[in-house]
């Protein structure tokens, strides 16, 4: 924000010069009001981005899954490979009846999808698209991401509870158990990168990986940390093979069984936006963020996120669903010990290598 507000000020000054002097009025506002205005505009832009992203990803997933199954996928709407299919679907969802079951707790039922979307939207705040394109470079960025990521589970639990439906509640309970368990490997696998960078700020982590000093190849333990983060974030997203909270074949879609129309599409939107957020955090922390050969910038960031999202879709259409006990044993018996080994190994490696290079061994705890 501290860089976007001056940038907006420059943009408006330029517009006032070139197009219409009336824009100059905006510059005469008090600073606080101007910052608020910029916040509203940035927030709306993020909302637009968040709404357009699932449109593209849903289309992409349908095409990818179709190709994996030797089908064509959407081909009709919009002419070229059905690129307007998801837009048409959105219009359909907007026109659908907004059903609230008779036995449901109406207030919670309405609130739940908003909470789910809000949680994924809030995570966008700390995503560093480029060196200046970040809504707020919080000094606790990663902690913030982990925190708001956990709000989503409240939305899911709320949806399952208020639907007054046994399948919804079962799905929501499974989801809560799953997300809370997998928080631990997610956090533990992010920690080695935080130790290397010496900061929790997402922008700081990206800057520590300038060039191609990506954390994923920083030492032998980091690829493992990346793998753990990727698997655990898949589980946090409730995606196949960890989609037992919304297993269509056993729970009739789990927590969003009773939802229809726009409220249902909110959950869908949150899921796909969360996919992007997870891919973006993996990119930021392990894959060098917006750094890349030739020209560092938002394009590199988006490309890496895109590839990770494609990998998630590829996995989804490859693997069958896990059982509940398998899910828990994967988390507690395999991922958590492995991430502890990672954390310990990466720290030791850093200390030893630093000592061999003659650097001060203890300094990395406090950053540079």
In the complex with other proteins, the residue whose CB is nearer, 30 or 320, is 320
Member of 315, 340, 341, 351 binding other proteins (CB under 8 A): 315
Binding-site member from 314, 332, 344, 365 for other proteins (CB under 8 A): 314
How far is the C-alpha of 185 from the C-alpha of 261, rounded, in Å?
35
Number of residues that bind other proteins (CB under 8 A): 17
Q: Which two tokens stand for residue 108?
A: 């919670």
Question: Looking at 25, 27, 33, 72, which residue binds other proteins (CB under 8 A)?
Answer: 72
Work out whether 67 is an interface residue with other proteins (CB under 8 A): yes
Q: Which is nearer to other proteins, 64 or 108 (CB)?
A: 64
Residue 64, interface with other proteins (CB under 8 A)? yes
**How far is it, in rounded angstroms, from Cα 130 to Cα 190?**
20
Structure tokens at 361: 């061994």
Torsion of CA 12, 42, 307, 75, to 10 degrees: -90
- The residue (of 73 and 198) whose beta carbon lies closer to other proteins is 73
Query: CA 270 → CA 48, 260, 274, distances in Å?
Result: 13, 15, 6
Helices (H), the chain: 4-18, 24-27, 31-68, 85-95, 106-123, 141-162, 166-197, 202-207, 222-236, 248-251, 261-286, 298-316, 324-329, 336-357
Sites for other proteins among residues 323-362 (CB under 8 A): 330, 333-334
Compare residues 64 and 299 and give the one whose CB is closer to other proteins.
64
**94 or 319: CB nearest other proteins:** 319
Q: How far is the CB of 267 from other proteins (least distance, A)?
A: 26
Longest CA span, the chain? 70
129 φ/ψ angles, rounded to the nearest 5 degrees? -75, -35
The distance of closest approach from Cβ of residue 283 to other proteins in the complex, given in angstroms and rounded to an integer, is 20
The answer to whether 16 touches 24, Cβ cutoff 8 Å, is yes
Tokens of 352: 């030893």
Give the DSSP letter of residue 330.
Answer: I
Residue 69 touching other proteins (CB under 8 A): yes
Neighbouring residues of 268: CB distance < 8 A, sequence distance ≥ 6: 54, 58
Give least dist CB 261 to other proteins, A. Answer: 30
Nearer to other proteins, 179 or 234 (CB): 234
- With CB under 8 A as the contact rule, the residue among 3, 71, 96, 355 that binds other proteins is 71
Q: Which stretch binds other proteins (CB under 8 A): 109-117, 250-258, 274-282, 312-320?
A: 312-320
CB of 305 to other proteins, least distance (A): 20
The nearest distance, CB 233 to other proteins, in angstroms, is 16
Which span sits near other proteins by CB under 8 A: 52-60, 65-73, 261-269, 279-287? 65-73
- The answer to whether 77 contacts other proteins (rule: CB under 8 A) is no
Q: Smaller CB distance to other proteins: residue 75 or 77?
A: 75
Q: With respect to other proteins, which residue has the nearer C-beta, 71 or 323?
A: 71
Sign for the pseudo-dihedral over CA of 132, 44, 124, 91 = negative
CB atoms inside a 10 Å sphere around CB 131: 17
* 252 exposure class (CB count in 10 Å sphere: 0-12, 13-18, 19+): middle
Q: Which chain residues interact with other proteins by CB under 8 A?
A: 64, 66-72, 75, 314-315, 317-319, 330, 333-334
């Amino acid at each position: 924000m501290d860089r976007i507000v001056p940038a907006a000020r420059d943009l408006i000054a330029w517009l006032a010069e070139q197009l219409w002097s009336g824009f100059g009025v905006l510059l005469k506002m008090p600073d606080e009001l101007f910052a608020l205005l910029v916040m509203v505009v940035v927030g709306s832009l993020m909302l637009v981005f968040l709404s357009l992203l699932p449109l593209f990803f849903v289309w992409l997933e349908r095409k990818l899954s179709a190709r994996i199954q030797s089908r064509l996928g959407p081909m009709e709407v919009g002419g070229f490979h059905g690129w307007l299919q998801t837009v048409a679907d959105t219009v359909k969802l907007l026109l659908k009846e907004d059903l609230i079951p008779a036995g449901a707790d109406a207030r919670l039922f309405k609130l739940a999808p908003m909470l789910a979307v809000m949680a994924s939207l809030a995570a966008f705040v700390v995503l560093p698209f480029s060196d200046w394109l970040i809504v707020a470079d919080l000094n606790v960025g990663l902690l913030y991401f982990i925190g708001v990521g956990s709000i989503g589970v409240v939305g899911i639990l709320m949806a399952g509870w208020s639907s007054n439906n046994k399948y919804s509640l079962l799905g929501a309970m499974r989801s809560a158990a799953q997300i809370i368990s997998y928080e631990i490997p997610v956090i533990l696998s992010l920690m080695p990168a935080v130790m290397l960078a010496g900061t929790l700020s997402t922008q700081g982590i990206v800057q520590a990986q300038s060039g191609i000093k990506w954390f994923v190849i920083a030492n032998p333990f980091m690829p493992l940390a990346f793998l753990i983060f990727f698997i655990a974030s898949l589980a946090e997203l409730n995606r196949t093979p960890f989609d037992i909270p919304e297993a269509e074949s056993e729970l009739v879609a789990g927590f969003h069984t009773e939802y229809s129309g726009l409220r249902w599409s909110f959950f869908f939107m949150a899921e796909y936006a969360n996919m992007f957020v997870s891919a973006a955090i993996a990119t930021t922390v392990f894959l060098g963020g917006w750094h890349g050969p030739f020209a560092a910038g938002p394009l590199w960031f988006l490309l890496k996120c895109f590839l990770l999202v494609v990998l998630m879709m590829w996995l989804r259409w490859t693997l069958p669903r896990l059982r509940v006990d398998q899910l828990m044993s994967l988390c507690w018996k395999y991922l958590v010990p492995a991430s502890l080994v990672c954390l310990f190994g990466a720290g030791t490696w850093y200390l030893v290598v630093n000592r061999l290079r003659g650097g001060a061994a203890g300094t990395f705890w406090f950053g540079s």
